[in-house]
A and B are shown apart, each in its own frame.
Chain A
Amino acid sequence: MNRTVLTIGLVIAGALCAVFYLALGKDPSAIDSPLIGKAAPDFALKAVGTGETIDLAKYRGKPVVVNFWATWCHPCWDEHPTLTAVSQTYGDNVQFLGVVFQDDETKITNFLRERGWTYPTLVDQRGKTAIAYGVGGVPETFFLNRQGKIVAKYVGPITPDELRTDVAKAMAE
């Protein structure tokens, strides 16, 4: 009897240890996106500065990088130079789009004026686009292939290497 109880206890403890071990080093706020491999939700949003409406659909046939960010998000400040610099290296071959949510347009304009920009920044009113993309926090970056399918998602401030790796995925498909 005691041996049975001990075995059951060990099995339960072992299973718990395995679960905790697998979760080690994983960011609990990073949610696996069920959108990977699916068509990216379409949007047409107003660009900051120009007021022009940018429609995602018009970039079909070209890989697109959609970066969700906000001026109140400090990690977004860190990744801003990476995105602007790397986007320039791809020129017209890859379209970069910034989508700002839960923010004030004046603050966005001031931020971009101070730090510069190389691609359109769009305003997501009431966060509807962010919700459709399953954004849980900023920054989050989505990589769309030529067919408009999401091939990768990156949570947190992205580094140049990580950015190039995911862009390569979007370009390959």
Chain B
Amino acid sequence: MRKLALIAVLLLLAVKVPDADTLVGPPKGQPLAGDELTRTTQEVASTIRCPVCQGLSIADSPAEMAQNMRAQVRELLSRGYTRDQISSYFERSYGQFVLLKPKFQGVSSLVWTLPIFALILGVVIVFMKMKSLEQPPSGNQQPATGNSETDPYLARVRELVEGEQK
């Protein structure tokens, strides 16, 4: 039995998977454990996109890939990796696509700036529209001033009324 256990351990030791140490450097934070580890794992996992799902985070997805990635997040937090290091770890392999909250850099910055720009543009358009409505209409659309002496239409009406009275 002991021999079998020893063989199993040796086999596990022989297997080497790509480690975060070589990819994003040594841990920069404190190792987490217990409830804090569970809570932080959930928080970090909710910011990472499941690559095999449609718009789901690895915290919400039941896919095996997401479960593996979640386990990876938990392991990295328990080893003292910070949130930023974990994001970088996944971003290194999958690119910014894997981050549900894109970083403010390059083309991704448009995600943050465009809505603000659109909002400002909308406010400016509404303001200009309101201002134009407040101004009195000009030109041909101006209503009659009530100058009955010069208005040819009123003069004609007056003429007809007077004609009838005679």
Contact = CB atoms under 8 A, between A and B. Distances in A.
Contacts of B93: 34-35, 41, 131-134
Contacts of B154: none
B22 A42 contact: yes
A124 B16 CA distance: 10
Given A1-B128, A1-B129, A46-B14, A132 B23 contact: yes
Nearest to A28: B54
B132 interface: yes
Interface stretch (B25-33, B66-74, B155-163): B66-74
A53 B125 contact: no
A34 B94 contact: yes
B92 A44 contact: no
Contact of A42 (B16, B64, B71): B16
Contacts of B22: 41-42
Contacts of A132: 17-18, 23, 93
A26 interface: no
Interface string A3-46: 01100100000000000000000000101111100000111111
A168 to B, nearest CB: 25
A29 to B, nearest CB: 8
19 contacts: A4-B125, A31-B97, A32-B95, A34-B95, A41-B18, A43-B16, A45-B16, A46-B15, A53-B15, A124-B17, A127-B68, A129-B17, A130-B65, A131-B72, A131-B90, A133-B18, A135-B51, A136-B94, A137-B52
Interface of A: 1, 4-5, 8, 29, 31-35, 41-46, 51, 53, 55, 102, 124-137
A-B interface, 7 closest residue pairs, ranked by CB to CB distance from nearest: A41-B18, A132-B18, A134-B93, A136-B51, A44-B16, A128-B17, A127-B68
Given A32-B95, A33-B95, A35-B93, 19 more contacts: A1-B128, A1-B132, A5-B125, A41-B18, A42-B18, A44-B14, A45-B15, A46-B11, A51-B11, A53-B15, A55-B16, A125-B15, A125-B17, A127-B64, A127-B68, A128-B72, A131-B69, A134-B51, A134-B95
